[in-house]
Amino acid sequence: MLPKALTIAGSDSGGGAGIQADLKTFQELNVFGMSAITAITAQNTIGVQGVFPVDLKGVEQQITSVMDDIGTDAVKTGMLLNRDIIEIVSEKADHYRWPYLVVDPVMISTSGSKLLHEEAMDALIHKLIPKATIITPNIPEAKVITGMNLSTFEDRKSAVKELHKLGPQAVLLKGGHEENSDHIVDILFDGETFYYFTVPKINTIHTHGTGCTYAAAITANLAKGLPLTKAIHEAKSFIHLAIVHGFSLGEGPGPTNHSAHRFYSDSFLELKVDTE
């Protein structure tokens, strides 16, 4: 039987991010994908033209319908939009005791649209993040959650420790927004050990949906039963190849290429470890 994964996120009509990126990634990694849609976005490569929330009963019922009949090996959350939706997801996490919960704390689209209301921040931090197997903030999201300045590498390590104190089993701080370096470092901390995934920065604008795709690949790998570090290592390889082979679509930044990993064999990225 195929492993199963459920994504709870927003729909991106343009197909590059959100539910669409998650389901494509699950499929590429041979995991049966299921979805609970929190909001419909009218979106393309240029931006988000509209956000249409799904009513609370609809969000709740999608999760219940999937869980009561099919069940899941792992859950990923993306765009959750508001406090009420976060509270529902948090209650469902308690009720169903999901084996793995990957929380991608999506706040703003790359094109600048708000995908999480400010009033929802408290629930995200205190109700959902503590239940996560892993959270995957980018640098701006980590700044908002911790209120810290993340200019230096040491700042980022401190922020990762602060984020870990909120209660998730592990924190993965993504480095895609690093501006002053030709390398990008993602920092993983599991409470004991720091792991660093370092890659050369790819010179491209086609990175729409990278965060969603990366977190979905981690979720798929956890659903397959891979240990956390290996699940992330393989997901990092997947997202790197997807960015290398990202392509132009429409007038704005194009999507990553979810199929790119098919043309490569093993994971090739280096993993550095630092015990603390």
Ligand X SMILES: Cc1ncc(COP(=O)(O)O)c(N)n1
Q: Is 207 in the site for ligand ATP (CB under 6 A)?
A: yes
Distance (Å, whole) CA 77 – CA 90: 11
Outline where DSSP puts E strands in the chain: 4-12, 32-43, 48-53, 74-77, 101-103, 134-135, 170-173, 183-189, 193-200, 271-275
Q: Any catalytic annotation for residue 207?
A: yes
Q: Is 189 in the site for ligand ATP (CB under 6 A)?
A: no
Phi, psi for 32 (deg, rounded to 5): -75, 120
Among the listed ranges 11-19, 93-101, 149-157, 229-237, the one in contact with ligand X (CB under 6 A) is 11-19
Distance (Å, whole) CA 207 – CA 242: 9
Q: Is 239 in the site for ligand ATP (CB under 6 A)?
A: yes
Least CB distance to ligand X at residue 51 (A): 9
In which residue are the tokens 């931090």 written?
Answer: 125
Token pair, residue 69, equals 């009949």
Q: Binds 138, which of ligand ATP, ligand X, none (CB < 5 to 8 A, cut-off by type)?
A: ligand ATP
Task: Exactly one of 133, 207, 219, 256 is catalytic; name it.
Answer: 207
Among the listed ranges 8-16, 81-89, 176-184, 219-227, the one in contact with ligand X (CB under 6 A) is 8-16
Task: Exactly one of 7, 110, 146, 210 is catalytic; name it.
Answer: 210
Q: Is 110 in the site for ligand X (CB under 6 A)?
A: yes
Burial class of residue 1 in the structure, from the number of CB atoms within 10 Å of its CB (0-12 exposed, 13-18 middle, 19+ buried): exposed
Q: Which of 116, 199, 216, 228 binds ligand ATP (CB under 6 A)?
A: 199
Enzyme catalytic residues? 174, 207, 209-212
